[in-house]
Amino acid sequence: MDRLDELTQALRALEATVAQQADELARTRHQLGLLEDRAEIERLQYAYGYFIDNRMFREMADLFCDEGAWIEIGQRGRYLGKERIHAFLLRVLGDGRWGLAKDEVINHVQQQPIITIADDRQSAKSRARAQVQGNSPPDTPHFLLADGIYENEYVREDGQWKIRGIGVTMTFYAALERAKIWFPSAPPSEDMPPDSPSLPVVEALGRQFNPWHFTHPVKGYKLAIPASDLATGG
């Protein structure tokens, strides 16, 4: 084999190695992109859970895409379009009131998300569940426990992940007669006083509330403490 043949073979081997590395780099970038997508979708879904906990209906609707959005909760039927979704959340679920009344409790604990992202990374679906607890309205003699299963859709719109559809079927509801619900925790120790006071109680809520450390995941605006103004409905 002459020198030219050796160089030709060496060049071909180098080209094959470069092609293999380029393919591996592309697959690695794709896998990294899928992980980033999953994190953003989880953030959307968890934000949805926190917003419904606090009856923040405008903030919930702002998580949805501008085109093709829908929501279907239990057997209440499906509502189409972002503004119809907001109206449904506020008027039907919220009875016209934004935010929590004093001593009101609502929790939607988001769990077990299984997220499937399309190969082109432009759409995704998830299955998850919510454990629901609440005493809404706060003077009800019962405490609600419920479980629901989500099958949701997401879409990348204008380069940003948004919720396309929320669909939840309820596994069960249980209204338990309650004896008492209380909100203050134990007081500061007298034997070993704290170095600084705790977060103060929000009087309109009747309990402490941790301020939001993040802005709205889609719109970017600052999130308010969800205390209802009962005179104006929010």
Domain-located, residue 170: yes
The predicted structure's pLDDT at residue 173: 95
Beta bridge partners of 153: 125, 165
Q: What is the pLDDT of residue 172?
A: 96
C-alpha span between 73 and 168 (Å, rounded) = 5
Please list the residues that pair with 169 across neighbouring strands.
149
Q: Write the DSSP symbol of residue 112.
A: E
Here the tokens at position 110 are: 């988001």
Number of domains into which the chain is organized: 1
Give domain status of residue 224, yes or no.
Answer: no
DSSP letters along 147-178, please? EEEEEEEEEEETTEEEEEEEEEEEEEEEEEE-
Tokens of 225: 């403490």
Neighbours of 92 (CB within 10 A): 13
Domain coverage including residue 175 = 3-208
Q: Please indicate, yes or no, if residue 226 is contained in any of the structural domains.
A: no
232 within a domain of the structure (yes/no): no
pLDDT for residue 35: 94
231 falls within a domain: no
Are 67 and 157 spatial neighbours (Cβ–Cβ below 8 Å)? yes
Other residues' Cβ atoms within 10 Å of the Cβ of residue 4:
8
CATH label of the domain that carries residue 50: 3.10.450.50
Those residues of the chain that have pLDDT short of 70 are 1, 230-234
